[in-house]
Structure 1
Amino acid sequence: MVDRIVWIVLDSVGVGELPDAGRFGDEGSNTLVHTVQRTGIRLPHLAGLGLGRIQGVKGIEMPEQVSGIYGKCAEMSNGKDTTIGHWEMAGIHSPDPLPTYPEGFPEEVLQPFMERTGYGVLCNRPYSGTDVIRDYGAEHMETGKLIVYTSADSVFQIAAHEAVVDVETLYKVCSVAREILQGKHGVARVIARPFQGEPGKFTRTANRRDFSLDPPGPTVLDRAKEAGLDVVAIGKIEDIFNGKGITHAIHTKSNMEGVDVLLESMEWQGKGIIFANLVEFDSAWGHRNDVAGYARGLVEFDDRLPEILGKMRETDVLVINADHGCDPTTPSTDHSREYVPLLLYGHRLGKGVDLGIRSSFADIGQTLAELLGLQELPFGKSFAGLILPQSN
């Protein structure tokens, strides 16, 4: 029935605050709707799949007939970050939040880090990624000390000028940090943040790399790989899952490069999952409160959607969703606790089916497992029966 899943995560494109958003300081967040309302953009191809029909989504046109299946998902796990969001959509429930460090990292983390790497540390507190290199970049270049910082998310970030610490060395340093940050200090990601330029003109480069924890349980990616299917990871998917369940990985530096690689991968005639993350919504625009950039990114993706649909095979299923919000119109520059949109399309799927509100992102992974004939996952409720015509 279904041979291949083409799965796209529009990183941070949330569609409205979850009922518990107040606990996370995210009341009123609605990444997609606020961006559309502020800029007046049109997204006709996403609308054609049913985006405007999702409960609570406003400002998107609603054609009389849509070719896709639509709904939205709540996050059941205790978090609003990239790692927990992706893990949940792939079938893992995370009831306990990953550790965060609003006061910076303790000595029991920093001391072994400095001893094992031989580098001193600057900053060690929550900071904007662009501001931290502005404020500490010159001192880093003078002293050789690494800029270590965090955010509201569960991350240990290391910034270094590429002329001071080459990229491969920075990656090795991050690997050491990953080994240290386990157990109670097991942050979701250690992130290499290389930059370049001169004082007053520092810019981050595209050589970012994430070092994640292993997922704590089986995912739909693991199930697919175990069954002998291909799992192609595009963008930061390999990093998020720490390579688990991946057979091929292609790292990309922008949304549009990600779409290009996705289209190239769709030329492959195998069976399995092509899984892409388009990160610029989050990294380039959401965290920087760049509403115009966010809107432009949405339009750029919408413009490319016909190319993706045009390459769909008879036995393909397209899945589009997000992993959290990052509303660029609010004062916060952090992720927001939001519902995520869910759109599906396939030649053999029903049309215009309203999935309503799913109680967990994990329903996506469980559904994909059923569509591909894989072993059931421990968490999530499949909606495959709702989207497959009864005649099939």
Structure 2
Amino acid sequence: MKKVIILILDSFGIGSTEDSYKFSDHGSNTFGHISQFCHMQYLYGKRNKLHIPNLISLGLGLSYKYIHSEFPNGINNCNKNIIGSYGYASEISSGKDTISGHWEIAGVPVLFNWDYFKSTENSFPKVLLEKILFSAKIKGILGNCHSSGTEILEYLGEKHIKTKYPIFYTSSDSVFQIACHEHIFGLKNLYELCYLVRKILDENNYKIARVIARPFIGYEKRNFIRTNNRKDFAIPPSDITVMEKLITERQGSVISVGKIFDIYSGVGITKKIQAYGSKNLFSSTISAIKSCNKDSIILTNFVDFDSVWGHRRDVLGYANELEKFDEMLPNLLKLITKQDLLIITADHGCDPTWIGTDHTREYIPILMYKKNNLPIFIGHRKTFADISQTIAKYFCLSKMNYGKEIII
């Protein structure tokens, strides 16, 4: 019985890519700028340097050095006691969003262009809104603009409570987001509205990657909180993923932890585990590893790096989250047998020091651990899909259409 465990540190990029200028992201560097921030805080006596020894032992610092010709600022001993193979990858998908990154990891790069609602005000087309209002039998909406999820609640949360009008908003990503009060509007009603919007978008040929339900609680802007009942209504993958191949060709299992199920619209998933927060995501992953009884892929997305810290441009929060993740790693590493393969990677960047609140086009780390294997540098991979091709080979599946196998 073989297992592949994939831990996706949502948004943990390690430096801007060759094509980052197309996205106005040249110079972004999620890992590097967080490490630099911590080092400056250390020099001023405000905190310790970034302390992530387990990720460093898996080769994270060396992966970084191959891109930047130097180790991250303030992190020492990056080339000692290395236990894993390491490298980095560029993205060939057209966007820098969550779905594109995850699909490419699974062997299905997004080579078409997503549709976007580009206008920052009056973002959604009038005809589309009219269809939604008529079909949903609602009298009005709020928002209709670009915004971050926390800011729009400050602006419109109290008005939503008074009117019960749903809050529609978007961003530079291919998303249609709907925020509603979990109790006053109702969680079931919010999900049904999002499902309806997804259906209308599809019927009218809008290639919008995700409709996202954003429930919140609280009764005034100073105490509004988004709840863990977020739900993504995503377009299904446009081709066969490596997870589907494992299920159909070897009757294996694919266990999703966290928001993975929604990202792949449930396609290629045999078991869904809901979990929120890095600690619970980690413990759920460990439970999944222990319960496997057949060839399995376990996929976990650590969303807080992106949604709680990256988008909110909270450098200190991101650094603290990295250290918490690193501290939990040994509990997982000791479960890896000779038959298992652990892969730690990311789906895009979200540099918390960068301008604006959007994702950043960056290289992702690829850290691979097999018990008793000699560590090697796996190089610069030209697509995230090399991960899926490696998994296909590992399970003796038919080849994926994209990517090259990583020899470890």
Q: TM-score, normalised by structure 1?
A: 0.95
Q: Does 1:58 align with 2:59?
A: no
Measured after TM superposition, the shift of residue 181 of structure 1 is 1.4
Match of 1:29 in 2: 28
Give the secondary structure class of the aligned counterpart of 2:338: coil
Q: Distance in 2 between matches of 1:36 and 1:256?
A: 22
| Secondary structure of the corresponding residue to residue 7 of structure 2 | strand
Could you tell me how far apart the structure 2 residues matched to 1:36 and 1:259 are? 23
Q: Can you list the C-alpha shifts for 1:165-208, whole angstroms capped at 9, x where unaligned?
A: 11121111111111111264121110000011122221211111
In the TM superposition, what is the alpha-carbon distance from 1:379 to its structure 2 partner?
1.1
| Paired position in structure 1 for 2:262 | 239
Unaligned runs of 5+ in 1: 388-392
Gaps of 5+ in 2: 39-48
Determine which of 309, 312, 315 is the counterpart of 2:333. 309
Alignment-derived partner of residue 320 in structure 2: 296
User: Which residues in structure 2 correspond to 1:140-151 (within 5 Å)?
Assistant: 140-151=160-171
Instruction: Tell me the distance in 2 between the aligned counterparts of 1:97 and 1:328.
Output: 26
| Counterpart Cα distance in 2 of 1:42 and 1:134 | 35
**TM-score (structure 2 length as normaliser):** 0.92
The partner residue of 1:118 within 126, 133, 137 is 137
Tell whether 2:165 aligns with 1:165.
Answer: no
Shift of 1:240: 0.4
SS at match of 1:185: coil
Q: Partner amino acid for 1:222? A: E
Structure 1 outlier segments of 4+, above 3 Å: none
Counterpart residue number, 1:390 = none
Residue number in structure 2 paired with 1:215: 237
How many angstroms apart in 1 are the aligned matches of 2:243 and 2:201? 25
DSSP-derived class of the 1:158 partner:
strand
Shift of 1:284: 0.3
CA distance in 2, matches of 1:76, 1:331: 23
Contact 1:65 1:352 survives alignment (8 Å): no
What is the SS of the residue equivalent to 1:91? Answer: coil
Matched length: 383
Shift of 1:357: 0.7
1:270-285 aligned at under 5 Å gives the runs: 270=293, 271-285=295-309
Structure 2 counterparts to residues 1-392 of structure 1, below 5 A: 3-39=2-38, 40-54=49-63, 55=66, 56=68, 58-59=72-73, 60-61=75-76, 62-103=78-119, 104-119=123-138, 120-182=140-202, 184-201=205-222, 202-226=224-248, 227-270=250-293, 271-347=295-371, 350-383=373-406, 386-387=407-408
Separation of aligned partners in 2, 1:159 and 1:277: 22
Contact 1:66 1:351 in 2 (8 A): no
Contact 1:8 1:321 (C-alpha < 8 Å) held by counterparts: yes
Q: What's the offset of the Cα at 1:157?
A: 0.2
Output the CA distance in 2 between the equivalents of 1:108 and 1:188. Answer: 20
RMSD in angstroms over aligned alpha carbons?
A: 1.2
3-state secondary structure, aligned to 1:165: helix
Q: Give the letter aligned to residue 374 of structure 1.
A: L
